[in-house]
């Protein structure tokens, strides 16, 4: 039993009151978002709520980051819009129930892919995301969270803003919520300020029968969050290659988007709590949760940065808070729907506004004059793409690509060559900087083939051949010397460079001079 507790990190000291109250706050915040995300592709509210329950529970128990909250998310919900359109193109007149079966099957396949990513230890590649991309991701996400609250200031079913007393009441209750969340911690931290704000504002609205937008008003007519335990739902789709061809591309996107958002959220929570989670373990947990979600009538999802920040800002650091949030969410669905549907949206909007303010990296503005221009461009670009498209995966991947290209360009300009002729009349070229695809042109320009003596040594003591483009550059330079009857030696190549040359013997023929006293320190991954 002790080994099991250690596996789940239950051994750590737990503040039970803080964890349970924080979990209750998160559960309240999960309800409107799960409903909203389910409505994006046209699903019922329970499809989103069931997904939120399953993901929050499984990832809280088995995940790699205690305190992080998962549930139904907009990034995943958007993918299903494309799937639904594809299904309607392939099967005109397809029934909504059949569409849901394909959605559940897609979620299950996505979960399998996420588990494979964890088993193959691909989670570590999240370390390749540069800090400017992280800044841009967080800032863009804060803008999304902030902008997502604006529809609550419109009249139900229209694109018209609230007016008069209705608008004044909505704004007043929202500001009151924000003030409580901001001010209460200055007086006491005995209870989460977010929970107190929701309770106080809800009590005012219900006690004085104030006419304002509630959770029930965010749902379509006739819909409710009332339900039972998530029903077992084995997807009823044809087990054919044609079906697999339809769902696999969308499953891969769901898996990729989910893991990118989850692992980036994990990194953010790591920084806040000054602890370190396990990215590969989180991949397996996310995959397992999505598979179970698909079998329990859920739309799938991933980590939620907003709810995770609510949780950590309330003081939660253990798995109990996430478990509490999941259990309380199920209690709301099964027994408390009538109460939850009466909660004022102003309280939840104010909470999410505070989350957005806390999420935004305001310190990133101070780095504008300290960071390289390329990093500033990447940060701003990722922020804009995230905020405009809501496609977090594309924004992050594009940011990584641009950062990599900028890094390659800077390194390409760093290759240098010190030249001298020794007492034996041999010309030496001492190369500094990496020889790779970006620096091959500058490398070739360093040599004076026609003016050099009959023997040349190219010294790589302060350089290394990084890729096949570097090998090809060496091939070309030796060919140029060979054509004029001159001999080239390569000196001080590291072991990995020598191995590259040995593997490329079909395309290159050079005399590699080795110094037995020279050793190269190679990083071991």
pLDDT per residue, tens digit, the chain (525 aa), is 444 444 445 455 788 999 999 999 999 888 888 887 887 788 888 999 999 999 999 999 999 999 999 999 877 887 898 899 899 999 998 998 999 999 999 999 999 999 999 999 988 887 778 888 888 888 887 888 788 788 888 887 777 888 889 899 999 999 999 999 999 888 887 778 888 898 999 999 999 998 888 888 877 777 788 999 999 989 999 999 999 999 999 999 899 889 988 998 998 899 888 888 999 999 999 999 999 999 999 999 999 988 898 899 888 989 999 999 999 999 999 999 988 888 898 988 888 888 888 878 887 887 777 788 888 888 999 889 888 877 677 788 888 888 888 888 888 888 899 999 999 899 999 999 888 888 899 999 999 999 999 999 998 888 888 888 888 888 888 889 989 988 888 888 777 666 666 555 544 445 555 544 434 333 343
Classify domain 413-513 by CATH architecture: 2-Layer Sandwich (3.30)
Task: Determine contact, residues 197/180, Cβ cutoff 8 Å.
Answer: yes
* CA 56-300-124 angle, 5° bins: 75
How far is residue 185 from each of residues 189, 191, 282, 454, measured CA to CA in Å?
5, 9, 31, 79
Q: Report the distance separating Cα 469 and Cα 477, nearest Å.
A: 12
Nearest to 282 by CA among 396, 402, 427, 123: 123
Its pTM stands at: 0.75
Residues 6+ apart with CB under 8 A from 361: 135, 138, 139, 142
CA distance 445 to 77: 53
Domain boundaries, the chain: 13-154+224-338+361-400, 413-513
């Amino acid at each position: 039993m002790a080994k099991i507790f250690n596996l789940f990190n239950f051994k750590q000291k737990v503040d039970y009151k803080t964890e349970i109250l924080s979990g209750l706050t998160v559960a309240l915040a999960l309800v409107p978002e799960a409903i909203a995300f389910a409505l994006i592709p046209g699903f019922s509210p329970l499809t989103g709520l069931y997904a939120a329950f399953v993901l929050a529970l499984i990832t809280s128990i088995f995940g790699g980051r205690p305190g992080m909250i998962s549930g139904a998310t907009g990034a995943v919900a958007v993918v299903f819009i494309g799937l639904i359109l594809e299904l309607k193109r392939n099967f005109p007149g397809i029934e909504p129930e059949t569409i849901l079966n394909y959605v559940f099957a897609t979620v299950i396949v996505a979960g399998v892919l996420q588990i494979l990513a964890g088993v193959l230890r691909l989670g570590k590649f999240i370390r390749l995301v540069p800090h400017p991309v992280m800044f841009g991701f967080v800032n863009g996400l804060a803008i999304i969270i902030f902008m997502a609250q604006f529809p609550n200031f419109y009249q139900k079913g229209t694109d018209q803003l609230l007016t008069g007393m209705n608008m004044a009441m909505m704004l007043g209750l929202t500001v009151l919520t924000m003030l409580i969340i901001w001010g209460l911690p200055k007086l006491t931290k005995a209870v989460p300020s977010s929970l107190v704000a929701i309770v106080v504002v809800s009590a005012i609205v219900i006690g004085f029968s104030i006419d304002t937008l509630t959770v029930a008003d965010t749902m379509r007519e006739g819909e409710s969050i009332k339900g039972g335990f998530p029903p077992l739902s084995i997807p009823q789709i044809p087990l054919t290659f044609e079906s697999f061809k339809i769902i696999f591309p969308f499953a891969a996107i769901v898996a990729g988007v989910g893991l990118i958002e989850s692992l980036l959220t994990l990194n953010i929570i790591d920084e806040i709590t000054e602890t370190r989670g396990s990215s590969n373990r989180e991949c397996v947990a996310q995959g397992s949760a999505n598979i179970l979600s698909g079998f329990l009538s859920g739309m799938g999802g991933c980590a939620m940065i907003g709810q995770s920040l609510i949780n950590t800002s309330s003081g939660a650091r253990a798995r109990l808070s996430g478990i509490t949030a999941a259990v309380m969410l199920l209690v709301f669905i099964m027994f408390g729907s009538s109460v939850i549907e009466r909660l004022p949206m102003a309280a939840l909007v104010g909470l999410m506004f505070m989350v957005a303010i806390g999420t935004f990296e305001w310190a990133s503005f101070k780095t504008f004059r300290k960071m390289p221009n390329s990093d500033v461009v990447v940060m701003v670009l990722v922020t804009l793409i995230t905020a405009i498209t809501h496609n977090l995966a594309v924004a992050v991947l594009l940011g990584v690509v641009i950062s990599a290209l900028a890094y390659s360009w800077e390194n390409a300009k760093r290759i240098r060559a010190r030249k001298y002729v020794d007492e034996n009349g041999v010309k030496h070229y001492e190369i500094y900087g990496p020889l790779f695809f970006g620096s091959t042109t500058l490398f070739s320009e360093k040599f004076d083939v026609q003016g050099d003596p009959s023997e040349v040594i190219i010294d790589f003591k302060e350089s290394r051949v990084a890729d096949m483009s570097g090998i090809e550059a060496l091939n070309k330079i030796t060919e140029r010397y060979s054509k004029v009857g001159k001999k080239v030696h390569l000196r001080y190549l590291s072991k990995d460079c020598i191995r590259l040359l040995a593997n490329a013997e079909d395309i290159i023929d050079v005399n590699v001079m080795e110094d037995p006293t020279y050793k190269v320190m190679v990083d071991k991954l």
